[in-house]
Structure 1
Amino acid sequence: MSQGAPFWAPVFWFVSLLLLAACCQGSDSQERTPVILVPGNGGSQLWAHLNGAESPWYCRRRSPEGRPQQLWLEMSSLLYPAVNCMAYNLVLKTQPESFLTAASTHDNVGVQTFVPGFGIVDTVLWLSNWQTKYTAYYSSIVAHLEEKLNYTKNIDIKAAPYDFRKAPDELGDYFQSLKTLIEDSFHRASGRKVVLVAHSLGGKLMLHFLHSQPQHWKDQYIGHFVAIGGAFGGVTVSLLAMLSGYNLGIATINPLQFRTVQRSWPSTHYLLPDAILFGSDRPLVKSKRAPPSPPDAVYTTANLSALFAKASFAKGYAEGPARYGELTDVGKPPGVTTTCVFGDGLPTLASIVWPKVGDKVADADEHEDGDGTVAASTARLCRDWSAKQAAPVRVARLAKAQHLAILSDVRLLELVAGVVRNGGKTETDN
């Protein structure tokens, strides 16, 4: 035998190279810029344990064999009369004397709801258990990052779902869990700052969360805040939900029937138009006796409480605009590098006509430019932030991008990928 390298040397080096490649690949996946997805209104799954629910006789009142059932969004629940069961299970209750004076809402009798999958992306990919293009939520963004940047679900991309029925004052535990998730993601990525991607209501909640964190914490852990269709200044459609219900565009839902549910959600109050964006003299609701009579009253952000009092709301609801309007100062900047993305070029509800007499559905009165839900003028709030903080703020407007469909818009996918590819840094300071 020759005196050269031992016979096992080639095998040794081959195995060593394989181990080195595996090591480096694993390390690289851990060092990608971490992304955390925050859903908007209706973007989180809601499940429940049913134990003696007092819902209509044809509804399931107990969970079979103790297994929880999906409340939101179970597509079959949208059909009549199952929609009545969904309404019972989703409504929030409170003591009338404490409503809007304390974080005190709770589930209906016999219903115990929970939000599954905190930190897990799978629960925010689709709006329902039926996976179609009409129920796609964050699925396109996740698939794009996986394909273009080799991201891995639940490793580099995580999610922070929450009970979208609640307002910030009832989400203290959620915000603490989110903070822990951000810090853990930062450390697992070897000190790479986190990119927060939030949609709709989620954008306003993240603004509230960032306001509650010290600047040194934000400087250390947050690389970029991407707000998609952020409802920072509220939306007029929330007034529609309060007055006559909003069926979310689903024909099988009777708006008036769903009104009780939406009135009970603090998040509906939290999304009422904010005077910082809408002003105090812009007509939002016009109350009419009967056409063609002129309106007998015009309501703005300055007198919404009077409107709700006349609408015979339950005790405590009239205080909603004042209470929830003070929770988040939308004029205060987030204190981190921010990109606000808005759709425009689509008719968006600007004001409504409400028939004062009788229990009737309010009608659209005027429309403005926006994404069909959030007014394009909301971008002004983001622009104002740029003069109030050192970190850059950028505004991107996507023509004809609808409020939900924007999440699958290739222009948005490339924008998010660009932010992530740059490690959260922005290419422009304006």
Structure 2
Amino acid sequence: MATHRHWLLLLFLPWALLSRRGAQPPDALYPVVLLPGNTCSQLEARLTDAYEPPPESPQCGAGSNERGRWFRLWRNATAMDDPAVAPCLADQLRVVYDPAARDFRNEPGVETRVLGFGSTADFLADTEANKDLCMGRLVEALQQAGYRDGETLFGAPYDFRQAPAARGQPCRAFARFTRRLRALVERASRENGGRPVVIVSHSQGGYFALEFLNRSPLPWRRRYVKHYVMASTGAGGFLLPLRNLASVPRDALEAPDALVALPSPAVFGPGTPPLVVTRARNYTARDIPEFLAAIGVPPLGVTLYETRALPLQLGFRAPVVPTTCINGVGQPTMEQLVYWDGNFSETPQVVYGDGDGFLPVASIVALDTVIGGDPRQEYYKSIKLAGTSHAGVVSDAAALKRVVDEILWSPPI
């Protein structure tokens, strides 16, 4: 029988006052692997002779010294701030669907790689804001507790542009990430006396971690995973991708991560308010294919949603390892978009409800049913942090205290 503890916590004391454990000796620590949120992984790119700059931006990759060498693609703040170079960054960063391969790929002539796999050093935490968003504060807190990067603390950055796809659909990027993460978990355990690993994810990293666990053999999970701590991840997606796709419909062919994050009909089902309201008709989560068509997403984009993203959403399930989900609540969160005149190119009126600022509360509490309600899930805990934002779960002092305590704690399995 699953153990369920659903706590609504009002945490307010600073980290320094609440931290009582102090630094632990290395032989008392279970190794930790962190998966950061969206855009927090660093990417490098290399242009080959096959790369053709956009016709409107012939300067992209025009210099011979820019061919054949690796350069920082994400995050490249200089390029983002330079109007002459920004179109080059956008073109070289995007992924496109290849019908022949039935998979997403880079633009022809653009090769990419993820920096620093195995380490947390290359997480995007070079500014105070990025440190809050990209687990920089959590890394610091774990180091205070005695963890050392590359010894007991490891990072698993990934290509955030390419989300996992439904089973049976090719997804080379996720398959490669799965192989690397499995090897990293095994190495972390081996180098720490055979102790199993604590996997900790934030935001989009949770979807990668959950799919990784569910696609790993159950005996392997039981041998190598001590505890999974999933922060700021819901079971049903959120509304921001709907609004973004309405603004730029072609992104459906270039942003598989947006399709996967759309609200799931398994969570936003009958009895829940419509997600999009117009004078002519309303759209629920069941109507997302029709909504995508209405905003101008090409038919192929609708098909990609129905074949690659939707089955993945409907298959959201328990990882069958000891699991703690930690989410913020009590923040104004988008729960309905109103395009009263049916003009989806205009900025919609937004109706707000409860959540963490990104994830609606319906997506958050669904974890308790989907994961906690699975009889195979032997241990599950759900923690809601009152007044805590999506990023605040891994950056606010009191929330960090709670997350670190869960990492250091041993589930009774």
| TM-score band w.r.t. shorter chain | 0.7 to 0.9
Shift of 1:362: 3.6
Shift of 1:263: 4.8
Equivalent pair of 2:199/2:229 in contact (CA under 8 Å): yes
For 1:106, the equivalent position in structure 2 comes to 105
- For normalisation by structure 2, the TM-score amounts to 0.82
Matched, 1:272 2:262: yes
For 2:12, the equivalent position in structure 1 comes to none
Equivalent pair of 2:96/2:253 in contact (CA under 8 Å): no
The aligned runs of 1:230-309 (5 Å cut-off) are 230-245=233-248, 260-261=250-251, 263-280=253-270, 282-287=273-278, 295-309=279-293
List gaps (5 residues or longer) in structure 1: 1-27, 246-258, 288-294
For 1:349, the equivalent position in structure 2 comes to 334
For 1:184, the equivalent position in structure 2 comes to 187
- For normalisation by structure 1, the TM-score amounts to 0.79
- Residues 65 and 360 of structure 1: is their aligned pair in 2 closer, same or farther, counting only changes over 3 Å? closer
Question: In 2, Cα distance between the equivalents of 1:354 and 1:320?
Answer: 25
Higher RCO by CA contacts (8 Å cutoff, separation 6 or greater): 2
Partner AA of 1:77 in structure 2: A
Residue 286 of structure 2 aligns to a residue in which SS?
coil
- Within the candidate set 63, 71, 75, 1:73 is matched to 75
Q: CA RMSD in A?
A: 2.5
Deviation sequence 1:271-327 (CA, Å, 0-9, x none): 11111211146311123xxxxxxx112111112111212222223111233221112
- Within the candidate set 154, 157, 160, 1:164 is matched to 160
- Within the candidate set 31, 47, 71, 1:50 is matched to 47
Shift of 1:210: 1.5
Equivalent pair of 1:33/1:156 in contact (CA under 8 Å): yes
Shift of 1:338: 0.9
Deviation sequence 1:166-222 (CA, Å, 0-9, x none): 121321111111111111111211121111110111112212121112222211111
Equivalent pair of 1:203/1:232 in contact (CA under 8 Å): no
Equivalent pair of 1:276/1:330 in contact (CA under 8 Å): no
For 2:127, the equivalent position in structure 1 comes to 132
Q: Between the two proteins, what is the percent identity of the paired residues?
A: 26
Residue 46 of structure 2 aligns to a residue in which SS?
strand
Q: State the aligned residue count.
A: 371
- Within the candidate set 149, 152, 162, 1:153 is matched to 149
Question: In 1, Cα distance between the equivalents of 2:183 and 2:192?
Answer: 14
Equivalent pair of 1:141/1:407 in contact (CA under 8 Å): yes
For 2:36, the equivalent position in structure 1 comes to 39
- Residues 359 and 283 of structure 1: is their aligned pair in 2 closer, same or farther, counting only changes over 3 Å? closer
Matched, 1:410 2:397: yes
- Residues 172 and 314 of structure 1: is their aligned pair in 2 closer, same or farther, counting only changes over 3 Å? same
Partner AA of 1:221 in structure 2: Y
Matched, 1:387 2:373: yes
Question: In 1, Cα distance between the equivalents of 2:304 and 2:335?
Answer: 20
Equivalent pair of 1:379/1:395 in contact (CA under 8 Å): no
Question: In 2, Cα distance between the equivalents of 1:298 and 1:54?
Answer: 41
Equivalent pair of 1:50/1:61 in contact (CA under 8 Å): no
For 2:356, the equivalent position in structure 1 comes to 371
Equivalent pair of 1:196/1:226 in contact (CA under 8 Å): yes
Q: Which structure: larger Rg?
A: 1
Equivalent pair of 2:53/2:60 in contact (CA under 8 Å): no
Partner AA of 1:320 in structure 2: L
Equivalent pair of 2:252/2:301 in contact (CA under 8 Å): no
For 2:321, the equivalent position in structure 1 comes to 336
Question: In 2, Cα distance between the equivalents of 1:396 and 1:237?
Answer: 24
Partner AA of 2:362 in structure 1: S
Question: In 2, Cα distance between the equivalents of 1:84 and 1:262?
Answer: 19
Partner AA of 1:214 in structure 2: P
Shift of 1:372: 0.9
- Residues 183 and 368 of structure 1: is their aligned pair in 2 closer, same or farther, counting only changes over 3 Å? same
Equivalent pair of 1:194/1:222 in contact (CA under 8 Å): yes
Deviation sequence 1:362-419 (CA, Å, 0-9, x none): 4243111111111122232221222313422111112222212332112232123222
Matched, 1:142 2:139: yes
Q: For structure 1, which segment, 134-143 or 75-84, has the greater mean C-alpha deviation from structure 2 after superposition?
A: 75-84
For 2:214, the equivalent position in structure 1 comes to 211
Deviation sequence 1:97-137 (CA, Å, 0-9, x none): 56xxx6421112332222111112111151xxxx2211212
Partner AA of 2:408 in structure 1: R
